[in-house]
Amino acid sequence: MYALVDGNNFYVSCERVFRPSLAGHPVVVLSNNDGCAIARSNEAKALGIAMGAPWFEIEHLAQSAGLVALSANFALYGDMSDRMMSLAAGLGPAQEIYSIDESFIDLSGVRGCLLARGFKVRERILDWIGIPCCVGMGATKTLAKLANHVAKTAERKPGSYPAAMAQVCDLSVLAPAALEEVLASTAVNEVWGVGRRLTAQLSESGIHTALDLARLEPSLVRRRWSVVLERTVRELQGMPCIALELASARKQEIACTRSFGHPVTRLQDLSEAVTEFASQAAHKLRSQGSLAGQVLVFIRTSPFRPEAQYSRSISMPLRRPSADTGLIVAAALRSLRAIYLPGYQLAKAGVMLLELQPSTVLQAELDLQRHDAPDRSGLMATMDDLNQRYGRGTVKMASSGLAGDRRVWAMKQERRTPGYTTCWADMPVVHA
């Protein structure tokens, strides 16, 4: 048995915790550079705002419908996610954090009424941190994911599913006929792992609902589509095929890319941005205990602007695999100077770390050339600790610049709310 705990409209819910006046109003959270909607309140969804809708297309709703748009505050969302996940872990003995607002819980061996336990954990999350969520339960992870969809939809759209399934839904307690009715009421594209392209293929074969998919013969699905879809079908039939992932797998590549808040033309400004991106990528590299063998840097103009276009990338190998921020930044800046050409209005840049390997693995080599580079792993660990304690950017490479959010390439976040839980200066003050 598994449960999926999922925060409702998570980014918007985090904002409403500290701004209760937003309750009942249509709210969207915008992506980097305030480009498009990446989170919507139920009221915003009712206005017909689609996920990913560009801000310039829905901006008029601010005047006509009272739409409130906020810049993404990812530091706040990450902190609130940590709090929610620690409370959700009380549902069962093991937890897999699937995303910033979702976690699977293993319910094996949990005694008593699971439905009542789910409601209790949901109420605790709402009371303690103010985040509304829904809980779905099922014999497999796919059924738990589907149950969560049912719980959310039954609450937001009364009549779509039985009212008793709102907020917390346990598909394992349903009679076979009742379960088939739920599956028949669910479009096939709502099944975990069934994307847009696969939905079109299934529709051409007359498979339109989750029930249609669950009734397929698994061996036929494997021959016609893939072993991945076969697992999905077996999971819908109640056979667990996807285990809980208690430890995240190491990434094979690490990338840090950003679109600029304003077009960048000067090499100095590009160097600051590339230094920042390389530093962040190096921190992620050390966090998973890996070393990088190559550094890739790319820059490009915007394909949406009527101007001269330019796009280049270059990969530079490191002499020895490393997680040293200084070495990675130096390689990235050498790469940047090799591909930079003046006269272009660059809109995006990025750094990718390739050929990753565990830091516990060391490739020996013949001692044919002197290597004087000191081991700075202790220095890197100290820098990470200081940035963890006092905030990202407390200790950084000088070539990233000192102007902070005033840097030319800094993201456009004109509507960002304060760091209520991540910055001492922004901490809310309650007056008696």
Fold match flag (2-12+76-237 vs 254-358+375-400): no
Q: What pLDDT score was predicted for residue 228?
A: 92
CATH of 254-358+375-400 among 3.40.47.10, 3.40.50.2000, 3.40.605.10, 3.30.1490.100? 3.30.1490.100
Question: Which CATH superfamily, name and number, covers 2-12+76-237?
Answer: Reverse transcriptase/Diguanylate cyclase domain (3.30.70.270)
DSSP of 411-422: ---TTBPP-TTT
Are the C-beta atoms of residues 172 and 179 closer than 8 Å to each other? no
Q: What pLDDT score was predicted for residue 237?
A: 93
Q: Which amino acid is at 383?
A: M
Q: pLDDT tens per residue, the chain (432 residues)?
A: 999 999 999 999 999 999 999 999 999 999 888 889 999 999 999 999 999 999 989 999 999 999 999 999 988 999 999 999 999 999 999 999 999 999 999 999 888 899 999 999 999 999 999 999 999 999 999 999 999 999 999 998 888 999 999 999 999 999 999 999 999 999 999 999 898 999 999 999 999 999 999 999 999 999 999 999 999 999 999 999 988 887 677 888 999 998 888 889 999 999 999 999 999 999 999 999 999 999 999 999 988 888 889 999 999 999 889 999 999 999 999 999 999 999 899 999 999 999 999 988 777 666 666 666 678 888 999 998 998 888 778 888 888 887 766 777 777 777 888 888 887 788 888 887
Q: Give the C-alpha separation, 110 to 43, whole Å.
A: 37
Q: Within a 13 Å sphere around the CA of 322, how many CA atoms are in the beta-carbon half?
A: 23
DSSP of 136-179: EEESSHHHHHHHHHHHHHHHHSTTSS-GGGSSEEEGGGS-HHHH
Instruction: Spell out the residues 6+ positions from residue 20 whose beta carbon is closer than 8 angstroms to its own.
Output: none
* Residue where the block lists tokens 């076969």: 230
What are the extents of the domains in the chain? 2-12+76-237, 15-73, 254-358+375-400
Q: What pLDDT score was predicted for residue 367?
A: 67
Residue 205's φ and ψ, nearest 5 degrees, are -95, 10
Q: What pLDDT score was predicted for residue 368?
A: 62
Tell me whether residue 117 is exposed, middle or buried, using C-beta atoms within 10 angstroms of its C-beta: 0 to 12, 13 to 18, 19 or more: buried
Instruction: Spell out the residues 6+ positions from residue 396 whose beta carbon is closer than 8 angstroms to its own.
Output: 276, 279, 387
Q: What pLDDT score was predicted for residue 372?
A: 61
CATH 3.40.1170.60 fits 15-73, yes or no: yes
